[in-house]
Structure 1
Amino acid sequence: RHTVWGMIFGMGLLYTALFSSNQHFVQRYLTLDTKIKAQGSLYINVVLSSIHISVCSLVGVVMFASYASCDLMKLGHVDIPDKMIGYFVMDLFGSVKGMPGLFIVTVTAAAMSTMSSGQNSLAAVYLEDVTKPIYTAVHKKPMTERFATNITKCFGIFFGLATIAVAFLLAEAKDTLVIIAWKLLGILGGPLFGMFTIGITCPRANALGAAAGLVSSLGILIWINAGVLMFKIRPDNLPTDISGCIVNTSEYHNKMTASAFFNTTPQEYFNMTPTVHPFELNTSFSNATVGALTNGLPELDYESGIFYLYNVSYVWYTLIALIVTFAVGLPVS
């Protein structure tokens, strides 16, 4: 799913689509009074986004190195990878006063900033493209500034409540929230980026061709994701195990006996185990213990005869949309 080339070129193209044709970013450019300032903000954003993606990738590599021999998901401590970052922060900085709280504050602040600006963009788009035309057609006069301000606030509240509702639904999803978000950005933003690109770079392209390319690329990406969901295709992950997990010896001795350990299933054992901690330097599991815990786990078959596009990483969705838009849009034009 994530390779060096995919993160450089695929993710780079996805960010290009965001910076050039996404309403969320374009609205911010328009708040600046000159074109030079808008271009400067874009250049700064490109540099900071590159650093952000690089740091996130580095954190992922470090987390894998830390938990490769003590997989928290196989232990049943977490059900989705999103929750592992909390364990990781507590493992490294749990003893540092204020650090866990600082982590929560930074994550919350970043999320609130992104969500508030996104809701503002949705409210503005809905006002300009939906509400104002309907209001003008019904009342035969333009909307007043005061009414527009009030209705925009109502839209902001509505989209905020809708976002909270969607968050509860996504909590039940098996994929990570970040992956779901990037997939949606690729599916919806890729075709839009392709439409703008074909219009800018190809003089012969017309509205019909651009629309045909937009619809075709959107249909292809929806079909790919429908196949992924239908056939339950999962990406190939690097191998992990639980041979490096370490049990708190004193608590284990007080609450568990050898008889209880060898006469319970792996799931029952981990429900009874007081602490399993990859960084706590006490007594590690023996090979016999690891064999008992992993016995009976199903072997995952990653070989599939399903059409290859179903296995394409989401980082290439924008490129696929761009190719399909040009392949369909130019002949139709």
Structure 2
Amino acid sequence: ALLIDAIGGSFIVLLTILIGVIVYAYYADCDPYTNKQIEHIDQILPYFVMEVLGDKKGLPGIFLACVFSGSLSTISSGLNSLAAVIIEDFYKGFMGRQLSDERQGFISKILSVVLGACIMLRTYVVSHLGSILNATLSLFGVLEDPNMGVFVLGFLFPQANRRGALVGFFSSLALQLWMFLGAQITQKQMESDSLPLSIANCSGTMNSTLMNWTTTTMISTFLK
């Protein structure tokens, strides 16, 4: 399962990189963010889709539907998994209590709602971390690296006990949080390396239909 997940994850990352390369090459001489055609850098992909496929009826809608469906399916499956882990591993396993199927289903639904509310509150934190990609990778690294360390410890060192695993987990989590918070505090003091951008060939785009107020407002409203 881990091997399949690694292969699938690598394929998704490769596709993401290819999309970024294509968008950068397309806007190499007319960057819409530098030219103030979009307000946030995360709007570049929807803007690209609207510019390339805007005249193809239905295709922009399919793109947005895929974005929403992919996000909702990932979030819903994650919430259900977290609720199941809390009930099985903590409530039943750690606390040693038993539940009927009906009550377990009810508690699982309540936990899903509570966890969903926590995720919505976390979006406030994400909004202050720069782009969505940077925020996702940062939070993923903080939370997933300690878990990976515990799994590797169990695979390679069968003699490890619970106390050692807990000490390693919380030590790794503290180190990751220290690095994460330090990066957020000092990010304004550090120069960001980025590929060169140009607006040399943007003179003709001001009269494009994609530059009208309606389209720009629609994209901005959708991503806010």
TM-score over 0.5 for the alignment? Answer: yes
Q: Mean Cα displacement is larger for which, 171-180 or 98-107?
A: 171-180
- The match for 1:125 is 85
State whether structure 2 residue 22 is matched by structure 1 residue 62: yes
More helix by share: 2
Match of 1:189 among 123, 138, 144: 144
Q: Distance in 1 between matches of 2:33 and 2:207?
A: 24
Match of 2:202 among 222, 238, 245: 245
Q: Give secondary structure in 2 for the equivalent of 1:211.
A: helix
- The match for 2:216 is none
Indicate if the aligned counterparts of 1:80 and 1:175 stay in contact, CA closer than 8 A.
no
Asked which structure has the greater CA Rg, the reply is 1
Letter in 1 for 2:106: N
State whether structure 2 residue 177 is matched by structure 1 residue 222: yes
Q: Distance in 1 between matches of 2:212 and 2:69?
A: 34
Q: Is the alpha carbon distance of 1:153 and 1:234 closer, same or farther for their aligned partners in structure 2, counting shifts above 3 Å?
A: farther
1:247 shift after superposition: 3.6
Q: Give secondary structure in 1 for the equivalent of 2:33.
A: helix
- The match for 2:100 is 144
**Larger RCO (alpha carbons 8 Å, 6+ apart):** 2
1:169-188 to 2 correspondences below 5 Å: 169=124, 172-188=127-143
State whether structure 2 residue 122 is matched by structure 1 residue 166: yes
Indicate if the aligned counterparts of 2:126 and 2:135 stay in contact, CA closer than 8 A.
no
State whether structure 2 residue 76 is matched by structure 1 residue 116: yes
- The match for 1:9 is none
1:47 shift after superposition: 3.8
Indicate if the aligned counterparts of 1:78 and 1:84 stay in contact, CA closer than 8 A.
yes
Indicate if the aligned counterparts of 1:63 and 1:88 stay in contact, CA closer than 8 A.
yes
1:206 shift after superposition: 3.8
Q: Distance in 2 between matches of 1:177 and 1:243?
A: 28
Question: C-alpha deviations, 1:242-284, integer Å up to 9, x for none?
Answer: 2221345768xxxxxxxxxxxxxxxxxxxxx968xxxxxxxxx
Name structure 1 gaps, 5 residues minimum: 1-18, 21-41, 137-141, 252-272, 276-333
- The match for 2:61 is 101
Question: C-alpha deviations, 1:1-22, integer Å up to 9, x for none?
Answer: xxxxxxxxxxxxxxxxxx65xx
Q: Is the alpha carbon distance of 1:217 and 1:235 closer, same or farther for their aligned partners in structure 2, counting shifts above 3 Å?
A: farther
For the aligned residues, what is the CA RMSD? 2.7
Indicate if the aligned counterparts of 2:54 and 2:60 stay in contact, CA closer than 8 A.
yes
Q: Mean Cα displacement is larger for which, 237-246 or 153-162?
A: 153-162
- The match for 2:221 is none
Question: C-alpha deviations, 1:272-322, integer Å up to 9, x for none?
Answer: x968xxxxxxxxxxxxxxxxxxxxxxxxxxxxxxxxxxxxxxxxxxxxxxx
1:161 shift after superposition: 3.4
Q: Distance in 2 between matches of 1:119 and 1:111?
A: 12
Letter in 2 for 1:177: I
Letter in 2 for 1:182: L
What TM-score does the superposition give when structure 2 sets the normalisation length? Answer: 0.79
Q: Distance in 2 between matches of 1:197 and 1:96?
A: 49
Q: Is the alpha carbon distance of 1:274 and 1:78 closer, same or farther for their aligned partners in structure 2, counting shifts above 3 Å?
A: closer
Q: Distance in 2 between matches of 1:51 and 1:188?
A: 22
Indicate if the aligned counterparts of 2:129 and 2:184 stay in contact, CA closer than 8 A.
no
Q: Distance in 2 between matches of 1:225 and 1:104?
A: 32
- The match for 1:88 is 48
Q: Give secondary structure in 2 for the equivalent of 1:75.
A: coil
Q: Give secondary structure in 1 for the equivalent of 2:171.
A: helix
Q: Distance in 1 between matches of 2:151 and 2:206?
A: 62
1:299-314 to 2 correspondences below 5 Å: none
The alignment of Structure 1 onto Structure 2 pairs a total of residues equal to 208
Name structure 2 gaps, 5 residues minimum: 214-224
Q: Give secondary structure in 1 for the equivalent of 2:82.
A: helix
Q: Give secondary structure in 2 for the equivalent of 1:231.
A: helix
1:171 shift after superposition: 6.6
Indicate if the aligned counterparts of 2:30 and 2:202 stay in contact, CA closer than 8 A.
yes
Q: Distance in 1 between matches of 2:167 and 2:182?
A: 22
